[in-house]
């Protein structure tokens, strides 16, 4: 679990490049939550992640601000399903994957709410990714208006972050939306339904 109590021991199980990137990004965001805005050190990040300083710099840049910004970009792109994928993911699969990331790192939701509500460079980064996601929704779900896009985006955000929803509740909501003639059962086209 990627949480504030994560230690270098966890890094031993991190094998693939994408897992390392997510692991580092999660550690950065955990430090940002626990230590405050840029109140952490790269040495502390290296210790927390259990990965080398060279690897952190290679994947995220050479300054704390660059590391934080790249961590936010990568985490949010994974959260929104905007990271590169070889095959399109059905809507249900995207929601489950995003929920899994939030369960691994629940502090991300707090981090997002905090940064998104303040005037900052991070807020602007969130807005850029949100707009990319909204364009994706509009294109792939054939939504006609910006209001429709905001409704769908809000529903997806709620399905992913609401701690009071269990996976069966999420499935029931998606099924309800399909029955209600909101034909958007996949994010990337196709017609897969919750299983």
Handedness of CA 102, 46, 71, 11 (dihedral sign): negative
pLDDT recorded at residue 160? 86
CB atoms within 10 A of CB 119: 7
Confidence of residue 179 (pLDDT cuts 50, 70, 90): low
Question: CA 15 to CA 7: how far, in whole Å?
Answer: 16
Does residue 3 fall inside a structural domain? no
Does residue 54 fall inside a structural domain? yes
User: Which range among 35-44, 93-102, 121-130, 146-155 has the greatest average pLDDT?
Assistant: 35-44
Does residue 152 fall inside a structural domain? yes
Domain coverage including residue 126: 8-179
Does residue 79 fall inside a structural domain? yes
Structurally, the chain folds into a number of domains equal to 1
Question: CA 141 to CA 112: how far, in whole Å?
Answer: 25
Looking up residue 165, the CATH number of its domain turns out to be 1.10.357
In this predicted structure, the answer to whether residue 114 has a pLDDT above a threshold of 90 is no
pTM (two decimals): 0.70
Percent of all residues in the chain with a pLDDT value above 70, rounded to a whole number: 78
Does residue 170 fall inside a structural domain? yes
* Cβ-proximal residues to 20 (8 Å cutoff; 6+ apart), any chain: 14, 51, 55, 59
Q: Which of 49, 44, 52 is nearest to 9 (CA)?
A: 49
pLDDT in tens, 22-70: 889 889 988 988 898 889 999 999 999 999 999 999 999 999 999 999 9
Does residue 184 fall inside a structural domain? no
Residue that the structure tokens 């998104």 belong to: 116
Does residue 130 fall inside a structural domain? yes
Does residue 192 fall inside a structural domain? no
Output the DSSP codes for 142-175.
Answer: T--SHHHHHHHHHHHHHHHH-TT--HHHHHHHHH
Q: What φ, ψ does residue 186 adopt, rounded to 5°?
A: -135, 150
């Amino acid at each position: 679990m990627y949480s504030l109590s994560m230690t270098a021991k966890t890094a031993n199980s991190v094998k693939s490049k994408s897992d390392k990137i997510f692991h580092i990004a999660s550690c950065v965001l955990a430090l940002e939550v626990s230590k405050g805005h840029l109140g952490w050190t790269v040495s502390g990040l290296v210790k927390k992640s259990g990965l080398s300083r060279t690897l952190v710099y290679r994947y995220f840049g050479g300054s704390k601000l660059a590391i934080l910004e790249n961590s936010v970009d990568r985490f949010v792109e994974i959260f929104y399903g905007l990271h590169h994928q070889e095959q399109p993911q059905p809507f249900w699969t995207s929601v489950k994957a995003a929920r899994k990331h939030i369960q691994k790192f629940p502090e991300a939701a707090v981090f997002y709410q905090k940064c998104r509500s303040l005037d900052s460079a991070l807020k602007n980064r969130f807005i850029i990714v949100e707009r990319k996601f909204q364009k994706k929704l509009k294109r792939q779900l054939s939504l006609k208006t910006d209001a429709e896009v905001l409704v769908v985006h809000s529903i997806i955000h709620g399905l992913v972050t609401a701690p009071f929803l269990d996976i069966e509740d999420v499935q029931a909501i998606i099924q309800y939306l399909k029955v209600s003639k909101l034909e958007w059962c996949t994010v990337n086209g196709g017609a897969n339904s919750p299983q």
